Amino acid sequence: MKNRGKNRLIPAAGLLILLAGFVLLKMGASAQRTMRVLPFVCIGLGSGIFGHGLGAVLNDKAARSDPERARKMEINAQDERNVAIAHRAKARAFDMMIYVFGALMVTLALMQVELAAILLLVGAYLFVVGCRVYFQCRYEREM
């Protein structure tokens, strides 16, 4: 019962953030530089949170209407083969992301984009690579 209430609260919060973004967008025509970005961040976050929460609510409703199908979906989600496929797909996507981020950083630097934007991208890139090194070391110790 608690999970059901939480699932309904998440899309409501996302919708509130989304609406707040639209209100800020209408009101903040003469806002300062950093405040110009806030409405768009709220709209993006609100849309994502709303969509994720609504998906969880609909999934919960479908599971309650057909418990046998929900049980089969849960077994299928925990199947070793499907988990291995998902992990392999993530690994391939990560490998591609490293090259795409690298090319994007070089392209932005050659386009002489503002230094702050490039440094943010470089920081995100180094954070992701650092996480990979951390988890690889951790998993090597465990296995």
pLDDT, tens digit, 9 for 90 and up, residues 18-30: 999 999 888 876 6
Q: Residue 38, class by beta-carbon neighbours within 10 Å (0-12 exposed, 13-18 middle, 19+ buried)?
A: middle
> Do 6 and 65 belong to one domain?
yes
Amino acid at site 32: Q
Residues 42-76 have pLDDT tens digits of 999 999 999 999 998 988 888 888 888 888 888 88
> Do 22 and 66 belong to one domain?
yes
Q: Residue 21, class by beta-carbon neighbours within 10 Å (0-12 exposed, 13-18 middle, 19+ buried)?
A: buried
pTM of structure: 0.60
Contact 45, 74 (CB under 8 A): no
> Do 4 and 59 belong to one domain?
yes
User: Which pLDDT belongs to residue 34?
Assistant: 64
Quick one: average pLDDT of 16-41? 81
> Do 109 and 62 belong to one domain?
no
> Do 2 and 71 belong to one domain?
yes
> Do 51 and 74 belong to one domain?
yes
CA angle at 71 for the pair 66 and 77, rounded to the nearest 5°: 125
> Do 33 and 88 belong to one domain?
no
Total structural domains within the chain = 2
The domain boundary, picked from 36, 54, 78, lies at 78
Inform me whether the pLDDT recorded for 11 exceeds 50.
Answer: yes
* DSSP annotation of 1: -
Inform me whether the pLDDT recorded for 36 exceeds 90.
Answer: no
Inform me whether the pLDDT recorded for 1 exceeds 60.
Answer: no
Range of the domain at 87: 80-143
